[in-house]
Chain A
Amino acid sequence: MRRRAYLLALLTVGLACDRGEAPGRAAAGSFRGVLLSPALEKPDVTFTDFNGEPYNLRLKTAGKVALLFFGYSHCPDVCPLHAANVAAVLKTMPFEERGKIQFLFVTTDPERDTPARLREWLGVFDPGFVGLTAPAEALAQLQVSLGMAPARKEIVPGRDSADYLVGHGAQVLAFGLDNFARVEYPFGIRQEDWAKDLPRLARGEVPSVGNEGAPNRMPDAGPASVPAAPRIEVRVALMAAPVTTTEASVYLVLRNNGDADTLTNVWSPEATGSMIHRTEREGGAMRMVAVESVPVAAGATLEFLPGGTHVMLIGLSRKPDAGESFPLRLRFAKAGEFIIAPMVVAYADLDARLKVQQ
């Protein structure tokens, strides 16, 4: 347990704090959540709800925005926070819009989250929230298919084994009226962000990168619900699970669907510094060279891969585990600024995941 080094702090009060902004802020006019590219299709899966009834995700949430979250009721932080913030915002929305939003809580801890417990716990936030469960194997497959690492039990040293934690994805997936999730909400998203995005999702607006200004309204007809290609398309976004919080490498594949542009800055609100590194061979040795900006031609693909150019984050505020996401902000000279959430993967799995995602 950490103790405050108060005196030391008093003696070294000369602080130089950069303003770490909360994750989830995309460019003006666009959605506040983290954009998913490619979009995830709503899975055709049947859960069991907290009343013991079958709950087919597609059928039960047809015509609604489904906020899908995997968590557990004994969670000390992320789960009650997401539930409380969504509930607080729903209370302020008009009845018609609120009726189009369904918060679904899929338990990753069926051992302790009995139906009665789920009903009681979710009811504290909003009686309209639905608690769901599924067999362990199906649940794990579902999480993987949605780009999350399966939840896992974590025994806390020194605590009763029954008082365990469950590691799980911290993001809420928002499936729009068209049954596609194009945006997710990581931990750190605030009520004002939900309040901006939920009414837009309920109206059927489709999030896409670079949609500053004019909202990209979803057409009524079916096939047209595939979103227009964003100006900067994120094809791959992975972070190698760091061993310490000192530094971490991020690998990206970005396609520029717009005019020629320049990547001018990459940084994370959860890291004190960041650099774009290019690996160069000098004599017989490899060395890293810091790069100020990276131009990308119209229609070209920008690759930040192991052994080549990559993003180096320095001084992480926490050590993310495999399966989590980590906020990263990109600024392009023309396309503007947006936030992405590279998934953290074990270094051993990096090559395989890069191949799959490319």
Chain B
Amino acid sequence: MQFWCSARDTAWTWEWTAYPGVWLFIILLGVGLVRWNRAGARRAGTGASSLHPLSVVGLVLLWLALDWPIGALGAGYLASVHMVQFLLIGLLAPAALLAGVTPEAAALTTRSRVIEWLTRPVPALIVFNAIVLLTHLPPVVDGLMSSTLGPVRAQLGSMLIDLLWLAGGVIFWWPILLRHPERPRFVPPLRMLYLVAGLMFSPVMFGLVGFMVNADRPLYGIYELAPPFSGLSSRDDHQLAGVLMSITGATTAFVGLSVIFFRWSKTDG
């Protein structure tokens, strides 16, 4: 009976496993970004642009989060690794990916009313927080990723959560990272406030961290029902996940605030 690790349908081993689907996804995403930038350049009549180094960083972060071992460990074994996945897929990778999108490419999106509305600061903040909350609710995590659903459905559930994180992260970072002549970014103080409200003092993140760190019992059945990992109890694992969310969320916000502040002061000076 080895049905505890939903990502692998077998007991965990440190034996390397290939995930060609992940590689294909990363390649397709990279190709998509290049084509998007090129389409923007064509429309604006500027020179063709290649993949920005920051977008490469974003793709690498995504690949690390989805491929072995983080992908498999996070999908069925350790809540703390699941949190690392969230931070990489939902927070860091989208920021890096969007930072590499040219203003000309960003201008292409103004034709879509849905994107236009979704990427306004207030809706973006609400959607991001709603996705973070939804994808961390124990019934949703256990309901989508539990191995009792069968390995294929558990993997599909896990991927759905990954995609929601990526979408949420892109929506969150869009208003403060993408710029184009038709839609200038909002003023730096409001951008800083946006980061504070979205990451540093987000009630959703605060609540989740509080539950993960202080709950008497592990929140997620899927990680509770994985055997203890080298002296790390399930509760320790959940607490570590909470601490990671808290520290990384605040650090990301702090770095973002610093970048916005110093650029703003430079411009004003």
Q: Which residues of B contact A167 (CB under 8 A)?
A: 1
Query: Is the CB–CB distance between B233 and A272 below 8 Å?
Result: no
Among listed B39-47, B99-107, B145-153, B244-252, interface-contacting one: B145-153
The residue of chain A having its C-beta at the shortest distance from the C-beta of B218 within the complex is A191
Q: Quick check: is A9 within 8 A (CB to CB) of the other chain?
A: yes
B205-217 interface code vs A (CB 8 A; 1 in, 0 out): 0000000000011
Query: Is the CB–CB distance between B1 and A9 below 8 Å?
Result: no
Q: Quick check: is B129 within 8 A (CB to CB) of the other chain?
A: no
Query: Is the CB–CB distance between A76 and B21 below 8 Å?
Result: no
Query: Is the CB–CB distance between B148 and A4 below 8 Å?
Result: no
Count how many chain B residues have C-beta atoms less than 8 Å from C-beta atoms of the other chain. Answer: 51
Given contacts A5-B21, A7-B25, A270-B148, contact A318 B160 (CB under 8 A): no
Specify which of A8, A81, A92, A269 lies most central, judged by the most chain B CB atoms within 10 Å of its CB.
A81
Q: Quick check: is A281 within 8 A (CB to CB) of the other chain?
A: no
Q: Quick check: is A199 within 8 A (CB to CB) of the other chain?
A: no
A160-179 interface code vs B (CB 8 A; 1 in, 0 out): 00000001001000000000
A270-291 interface code vs B (CB 8 A; 1 in, 0 out): 1010000000000000000000
Query: Is the CB–CB distance between A4 and B4 below 8 Å?
Result: no
Q: Quick check: is A95 within 8 A (CB to CB) of the other chain?
A: no
Given contacts A10-B159, A17-B143, A85-B224, contact A77 B4 (CB under 8 A): yes
Among listed B7-15, B90-98, B110-118, interface-contacting one: B7-15
Query: Is the CB–CB distance between A3 and B148 below 8 Å?
Result: no
| Cβ-neighbour of B25 out of A10, A13, A191, A272 (below 8 A) | A10
Given contacts A22-B142, A84-B228, A318-B3, contact A6 B17 (CB under 8 A): no
Q: Which residues of A contact B25 (CB under 8 A)?
A: 6-7, 10
Given contacts A17-B153, A84-B228, A190-B217, contact A3 B19 (CB under 8 A): yes
Q: Quick check: is A31 within 8 A (CB to CB) of the other chain?
A: no
Q: Quick check: is A215 within 8 A (CB to CB) of the other chain?
A: no
Q: Which residues of B contact A76 (CB under 8 A)?
A: 2, 11-12, 227
Q: Compute how far the CA of A4 lies from the CA of B268 in the bound complex, rounded to whole angstroms.
A: 51
Query: Is the CB–CB distance between B157 and A15 below 8 Å?
Result: yes
A197-211 interface code vs B (CB 8 A; 1 in, 0 out): 000000000000000
Q: Quick check: is B18 within 8 A (CB to CB) of the other chain?
A: yes
Q: Quick check: is A293 within 8 A (CB to CB) of the other chain?
A: no
Given contacts A13-B159, A188-B148, contact A324 B153 (CB under 8 A): no
Query: Is the CB–CB distance between B150 and A272 below 8 Å?
Result: yes
The residue of chain A having its C-beta at the shortest distance from the C-beta of B144 within the complex is A17
Chain A contact surface mostly = loop
Q: Compute how far the CA of A22 lies from the CA of B4 in the bound complex, rounded to whole angstroms.
A: 12
The residue of chain A having its C-beta at the shortest distance from the C-beta of B75 within the complex is A4
Q: Compute how far the CA of A2 lies from the CA of B144 in the bound complex, rounded to whole angstroms.
A: 19
Q: Compute how far the CA of A124 lies from the CA of B225 in the bound complex, rounded to whole angstroms.
A: 18
Q: Quick check: is A317 within 8 A (CB to CB) of the other chain?
A: yes
| Cβ-neighbour of B216 out of A10, A85, A92, A188 (below 8 A) | A92
Q: Compute how far the CA of A79 lies from the CA of B230 in the bound complex, rounded to whole angstroms.
A: 15
Q: Quick check: is B130 within 8 A (CB to CB) of the other chain?
A: no
Q: Compute how far the CA of A6 lies from the CA of B12 in the bound complex, rounded to whole angstroms.
A: 20
| Cβ-neighbour of A84 out of B17, B139, B156, B227 (below 8 A) | B227
Q: Quick check: is A70 within 8 A (CB to CB) of the other chain?
A: no
Q: Compute how far the CA of A165 lies from the CA of B224 in the bound complex, rounded to whole angstroms.
A: 22
Q: Which residues of A contact B153 (CB under 8 A)?
A: 15, 17
Query: Is the CB–CB distance between B1 and A3 below 8 Å?
Result: no
Q: Quick check: is A111 within 8 A (CB to CB) of the other chain?
A: no
Q: Which residues of B contact A270 (CB under 8 A)?
A: 148
Q: Which residues of B contact A195 (CB under 8 A)?
A: 216-217
Q: Smallest Cβ distance from B141 to chain A, in angstroms?
A: 11
Q: Quick check: is B155 within 8 A (CB to CB) of the other chain?
A: yes
Given contacts A1-B10, A22-B221, contact A84 B233 (CB under 8 A): yes
Q: Smallest Cβ distance from A332 to chain B, in angstroms?
A: 23
Q: Quick check: is A88 within 8 A (CB to CB) of the other chain?
A: yes
Q: Which residues of B contact A315 (CB under 8 A)?
A: 150
A-B contact pairs, 15 of them (CB 8 A): A2-B9, A3-B17, A4-B159, A6-B159, A9-B155, A15-B156, A20-B146, A76-B227, A81-B4, A92-B216, A190-B218, A192-B217, A245-B150, A269-B148, A317-B150
Q: Beyond the given A10-B159, A22-B225, A269-B148, could you list 5 further A-B residue pairs with CB under 8 A, ordered by the A residue number?
A: A13-B163, A19-B143, A20-B146, A84-B234, A190-B224
List residues of chain A with CB under 8 Å of any chain B CB. Answer: 1-10, 12-13, 15, 17, 19-20, 22, 76-78, 80-81, 84-85, 88, 92, 124, 167, 170, 187-188, 190-192, 195, 245, 269-270, 272, 315, 317-318, 324
List residues of chain B with CB under 8 Å of any chain A CB. Answer: 1-4, 7-12, 17-22, 24-25, 28, 66, 71, 139, 142-144, 146-151, 153, 155-157, 159-160, 163, 216-218, 221, 224-228, 231, 233-235
3 smallest A-B Cβ distances: which pairs? A6-B21, A76-B11, A80-B227
